[in-house]
Each structure stands twice: as structure tokens, then as C-alpha cells.
Amino acid sequence: MWGFLGYYLVATTEPARHPDVEERMATLRSHRRPRAQETSALIGNLAGAAVEDVTRLGQAWLRAELRRGDFFHRPALDALLAHQGAGHRIALVSCSLPAVLAPLARLLDVGDVWCTSPEIRNGRYTGELSAPPMLGERKAAAVELTATTNRADLADCTAYGDHVTDLPMLRMTGHAVVVGEDSTLTRVARQHGWRRLPGVPR
């Protein structure tokens, strides 16, 4: 969502004010806060924006990222393609928003998307959320509902997570994979013998 927010702010701000956008993004990133508060703060920047405009910019952002190259984290993409090759049903479960995830899901041919729901009134974002962010226990509930709907045994399901808030989801499935170097997830992965994938190089 950070990448999209920067793209959105630049696209909706006069060129002369683009340095202000960079400063605003730097300020947002400098405030370390819980993931739920971070998500709310990011979506707050969309207050007053028309849903159709944000949707259009979400599609444009993804096209721009793909043109730049190296958009996908290769180990995670390879894992997703392997699951699809085996005929597994894929669900994206993320605290991001629909405008970001919908074009990505179409590109990856993923049918199930669970994400944070921004509040919308009269076709515009209010800057608030209509429900708590898709984090923690909400992710676990989404995974459980997806499995139930598709008559899948959770013991046969695989979950991938890269943040400590993904623990409830990871613990719910029979096969958990930790992506990256989150200290808590790394420790729990060692305790339970979970598989690991490298994180995104920084």
C-alpha cells in the first residue's frame, strides 16, 4: 500500500507540490505504529477521493510497477505458481485495499480476495474504515471461511505470512510458511518447524 499511496499522491498533486508529497510520505513512514493504526493512517489520505478515480489509479500504478520490473518477490511468486500448477485454490488475504489488490488478483488469476474495507459514501472515500483492518484474527477468520466455503480441510491448507500479525492465520493452517525476517515469526517458525522463504532485499 505504501507504493500505491506515493503514486496516488503524486498523481493527484500539482507537479510544483511533489516535494511536499515526498516529505509527507517520509513523515508517514517515520512514525512507527501498530499495523492497524498504520493502515488507518494510509487510508485516511484517500479522504474525499472518488472510488472510480482510486480504482483507475490502482490499475495505472500496477502497470507502472510492472514496466519498471522486479515488482514481484520471486520466491513468493514461484510458490504461488507452484500451488496453481498443482490445482490449489488461492486466496489473497491482506490489510491492503481493493484498489490495490483487485488488479493484482486479476493479473495472477486469483479469485478470492480478502482485504481492508474503506468506508465509502456517495461514491467517495471518507478516509475511515467500514470495519477493522484485515489483520490478525480477521485474517484467520477469512482463511477459515474460505476453507469452509470450498470444503477444504484447514490441515491441508498452506498460509504465507511476513508480519507478526499473521500468526493467527499461520497457526490455523496445517502448513505455515514464514516470508522474511520478522523476529517473532522466525522464532515461532523454528519452534514449529515451519518452512521459510527469504524476504525482500532492502
Residue (of 146, 133, 144, 139) closest to 162 by Cα position: 139
Question: What pLDDT was estimated at residue 201?
Answer: 65
Q: How many domains does the chain have?
A: 1
Percentage of the chain exceeding pLDDT 70: 99
User: Does the structure show a pLDDT above 80 at 28?
Assistant: no
User: Does the structure show a pLDDT above 60 at 202?
Assistant: no
Q: Is residue 202 part of a domain?
A: no
C-beta separation of 113 from 85 below 8 A: no
The arithmetic mean of pLDDT across residues 68-95, rounded, is 95
State the CATH number of the domain containing residue 157. 3.40.50.1000
Question: What pLDDT was estimated at residue 103?
Answer: 97
Query: 139 vs 29, which has greater pLDDT?
Result: 139
C-beta separation of 94 from 134 below 8 A: yes
- Of 31-35, 121-125, 183-187, the least confident: 31-35
- Average pLDDT in the chain: 93
User: Does the structure show a pLDDT above 90 at 95?
Assistant: yes
The arithmetic mean of pLDDT across residues 63-80, rounded, is 95
C-alpha to C-alpha distance for 108 and 126, rounded to whole angstroms? 30
- Structural domain of residue 26, as residue ranges? 2-197
Report strand pairing: 91-93 vs 124-129: unpaired
Q: Is residue 127 part of a domain?
A: yes
pLDDT, tens digit, for every residue of 49-60?
Answer: 999 999 999 999
pLDDT, tens digit, for every residue of 184-199?
Answer: 999 999 999 999 999 8
3-class SS string, the chain: CHHHHHHHHHHCCCHHHHHHHHHHHHHHHHCCCCHHHHHHHHHHCCCCCEHHHHHHHHHHHHHHHHHHCCCCCHHHHHHHHHHHHCCCCCEEECCCCHHHHHHHHHHHCCCEEECCCEEEECCEEEEEECCCCCCCHHHHHHHHHHHHHCCCCHHHCEEEECCHHHHHHHHHCCEEEEECCCHHHHHHHHHHCCEEECCCCC
Q: Is residue 171 part of a domain?
A: yes
